[in-house]
Structure 1
Amino acid sequence: MRLWMVPKTKIGRGAKRGARVEVGGGDAKEKENAWGQEAVRLLDMAVIIAGAARREERGEELVGALQNYVEEQELDPGPPRKKRRRGEEDSAFPMTEGKNVPEIRKPIPTVSNMSTASFEKHLKTGSPLVIRDALTHWPALHERPWKNPEYLLKRTFGGRRLIPVEIGRSYTDEGWGQKIVTFREFMDGCLLHGLPDEPDGKAAPSSSLGYLAQHDLFTQIPSLRNDIYIPDYCYTDPPPPSSGTPLASQPPTPQHDEPMLHAWLGPAGPVSPLHPDTYYNVLCQVVGKKYVRLYAPTESEKVYPKGVEGGGIDMSNTSEVDVEDVDPVRFPLFEKAEYVECILKAGECLYIPVGWWHYVRSLTVSFSVSFWWN
């Protein structure tokens, strides 16, 4: 359980002790010009932080009414965008890959446009699977494209909406923290102006990386929810965790009538450390690319799970190992652990069985949606 030093949306992602959450300040002049920002800020803070019943619905009703009024009256559209050089377009995010693109040595099996019946049969194998051509009907990939920055700004009230953003490469790193900023600040600071590798080959400083991670963005902003559909795979009945694996000895997770949706949006660089989930997961890539590596639950001893850390925080769902920078002296068994991997591309889904350890790194600007179900 986390106190609100970490947003409520990060339950289960691992809490870094001492992590601080800040509310972005932004430019004072921009705030003065954008008269509706303070109203949006208060409403979004209530949605993100407060625990009152129906807060999401009430907050979205009020924000929607305010946005409609502004648009109908053709009032202030929000802070002006920075001028861009001639020839630059806002049609899509820059998709430059970093220098450290992994070579895929042990690929995850891949199929195209898998039927629900075939997927149900695959569930019995207990293994991951990449599924192509399952998202072709999503508006987010076509007529309402999430790869278009201007479209996302429009859906977020000219970028006024507040979002919780992780600051740093990984929640296991020193100096990691969280900040609440406007969507426009996040886009201009992290997504439109990439963080290229420095001349000496080192990556940009992790303190500059921002990541909207495991956030219930679609409850907060339902208009984006209308751009995607829950895959039929998430309405199947998966088997329980295999006997002899860590999750098999734990109490079952609460049953949910509908899959849980989480958004993941950020530049190249942010990492989700090696960890398992207690739900079955279909990770859908909408924009950009991600590198994903998975280890079966039977490999748990070899991935060195953390224990209880200072303050009594249970971090046993997170590995001690930095997958792409392994210390063989500290973790001698890790190199013997069997794994599979992939580069997940826009339009593809990755099925992650319950209890499988997975490590994820964004290779470009990336927008993903995970669907958890049981």
Structure 2
Amino acid sequence: MHIQPIQKVEGLSKAEFTERFIRTKTPVILKDFVSGPALDLWNYDYFKEVAGDLIVPVHGSENAHPDMVHSAPVARMKFGDYLDLIQREPTESRLFLFNLLLEKPEIRKQLIFNKIADNILTWLPLMFFGGGGSSTRNHYDIDMSHVFLTQFHGEKKVTIFPHNNSALMYKLPYNFHGIGDMKNMDFEKFPALKYANGWEGTIRFGETIFMPAGYWHYIQYLTGGYSVSVRALSSAKDRVTGFSNLVVTRNFDNAMRKLLKDKWYNYKVKQAYSRADRAIRKLEER
């Protein structure tokens, strides 16, 4: 596996960012994507004060349901109790796609985004919380949008691979995640991972990682913490693909899962290994 560090930059104009990173589909860490009172106000105590009584769905280990990019919630608890948990100890418990900023619009107003790209959906910010040691399954986003992920507390290590590495990730057909284990790397079980080429970087307070549309990302919480993501619309071609993924591919997979149950998953695993083996042979023939 060949991994290169992700560059950290600041002070870019929209034209520079577009030319250097959007057009080349290159991940980058931005040091000045966000500003506003949120950088000073947001902390665990503040969130507990303004939203601690909200009941939130808590998700567990990334490996709980290998047929899905994310598992069903394992518990529901008060948001304040969850924040106490991730402050107190390492845990795989996570909140993702959390709409706190929509539930509490006064908090949303404390966050200002740098309009460094066109079509950034600043009206749809989502929050992610996790305990130290937790991680997200290696995947790419179904809607094929660009993603800007900003860290507000703690540290996350983000590993990114281009879309053309999909077979090497052991991507399941009709899904948007892979079964190649990124946490406990085993090149005997998943030999194609050795041939992957990607980037890796750590985001800390106030830093934002740009992940191009369709790029794989595996995220590890090095410490407990939280982040905010916003999306930016990508090319017309990617938007059409994203729409098809949401409306056709996902529904087909759900229907087949209900109809065939384990047989459907086993078929997809077999296909993932077969495609990975073919990708290895092509690379070795070069």
Bin the TM-score by the shorter chain: 0.7 to 0.9
Contact conserved, 1:289 with 1:343, CA < 8 A, in 2?
Answer: yes
- C-alpha displacement of 1:287: 1.1
Deviation by residue 1:276-312 (Cα, 9 ceiling, x = unmatched): 12111111111111000000111111111023xxxxx
Corresponding residue for residue 228 of structure 1: 111
Give the secondary structure class of the aligned counterpart of 2:164: helix
- C-alpha displacement of 1:131: 1.0
Corresponding residue for residue 135 of structure 2: 271
- Give me the whole-angstrom Cα distance separating, in 2, the residues matched to 1:334 and 1:328: 7
- Give me the whole-angstrom Cα distance separating, in 2, the residues matched to 1:267 and 1:276: 22
Gaps of 5+ in 1: 1-103, 196-207, 238-255, 308-313
- Give me the whole-angstrom Cα distance separating, in 2, the residues matched to 1:302 and 1:266: 27
Compared with structure 1, are the counterparts of its residues 327 and 368 closer, same or farther at alpha carbon in structure 2 (3 Å cutoff)? same
Contact conserved, 1:290 with 1:360, CA < 8 A, in 2?
Answer: yes
Give the TM-score taking structure 1 as reference length: 0.56
Corresponding residue for residue 261 of structure 1: 125
Give the 5 Å matches for 1:332-347.
332-347=191-206
Corresponding residue for residue 185 of structure 1: 81
- Give me the whole-angstrom Cα distance separating, in 1, the residues matched to 2:149 and 2:64: 20
- C-alpha displacement of 1:351: 0.7
Q: Which has the larger radius of gyration?
A: 1
Corresponding residue for residue 151 of structure 2: 285
Higher helix content, 1 or 2: 2
- C-alpha displacement of 1:166: 0.9
Contact conserved, 1:155 with 1:223, CA < 8 A, in 2?
Answer: no
- Give me the whole-angstrom Cα distance separating, in 2, the residues matched to 1:334 and 1:357: 13
| Alignment pair present for 1:294 and 2:187 | no
Corresponding residue for residue 16 of structure 2: 118
RMSD of equivalent CA atoms: 2.4
- Give me the whole-angstrom Cα distance separating, in 2, the residues matched to 1:320 and 1:270: 17
Compared with structure 1, are the counterparts of its residues 261 and 367 closer, same or farther at alpha carbon in structure 2 (3 Å cutoff)? same
Compared with structure 1, are the counterparts of its residues 132 and 191 closer, same or farther at alpha carbon in structure 2 (3 Å cutoff)? same
Give the secondary structure class of the aligned counterpart of 2:18: helix
| Alignment pair present for 1:214 and 2:112 | no
- Give me the whole-angstrom Cα distance separating, in 1, the residues matched to 2:158 and 2:167: 20
Give the 5 Å matches for 1:159-170.
159-170=52-63
- C-alpha displacement of 1:330: 2.9
Contact conserved, 2:113 with 2:122, CA < 8 A, in 1?
Answer: no
- Give me the whole-angstrom Cα distance separating, in 1, the residues matched to 2:79 and 2:12: 35
- C-alpha displacement of 1:128: 0.7
Contact conserved, 1:133 with 1:347, CA < 8 A, in 2?
Answer: yes
- Give me the whole-angstrom Cα distance separating, in 2, the residues matched to 1:261 and 1:153: 19
Contact conserved, 1:153 with 1:183, CA < 8 A, in 2?
Answer: yes
Contact conserved, 1:169 with 1:269, CA < 8 A, in 2?
Answer: no
- C-alpha displacement of 1:152: 1.1
- Give me the whole-angstrom Cα distance separating, in 2, the residues matched to 1:177 and 1:129: 31
Amino acid paired to 1:215: F
Q: Name which of 152, 165, 169 aligns with 2:47.
A: 152
- Give me the whole-angstrom Cα distance separating, in 2, the residues matched to 1:297 and 1:134: 25
Corresponding residue for residue 131 of structure 1: 30
Give the TM-score taking structure 2 as reference length: 0.72
- C-alpha displacement of 1:109: 1.7
Corresponding residue for residue 226 of structure 2: 367
Contact conserved, 1:289 with 1:345, CA < 8 A, in 2?
Answer: yes
- Give me the whole-angstrom Cα distance separating, in 2, the residues matched to 1:259 and 1:125: 26
Give the 5 Å matches for 1:306-325.
306-307=172-173, 314=174, 316-325=175-184
Deviation by residue 1:329-373 (Cα, 9 ceiling, x = unmatched): 332111111011001111111110001100001111211011112
Contact conserved, 1:172 with 1:273, CA < 8 A, in 2?
Answer: no
Gaps of 5+ in 2: 234-286
Contact conserved, 1:260 with 1:373, CA < 8 A, in 2?
Answer: no
State the structure with bigger RCO (CA 8 A, min sep 6), 1 or 2: 2
Corresponding residue for residue 356 of structure 1: 215
Contact conserved, 1:296 with 1:355, CA < 8 A, in 2?
Answer: yes
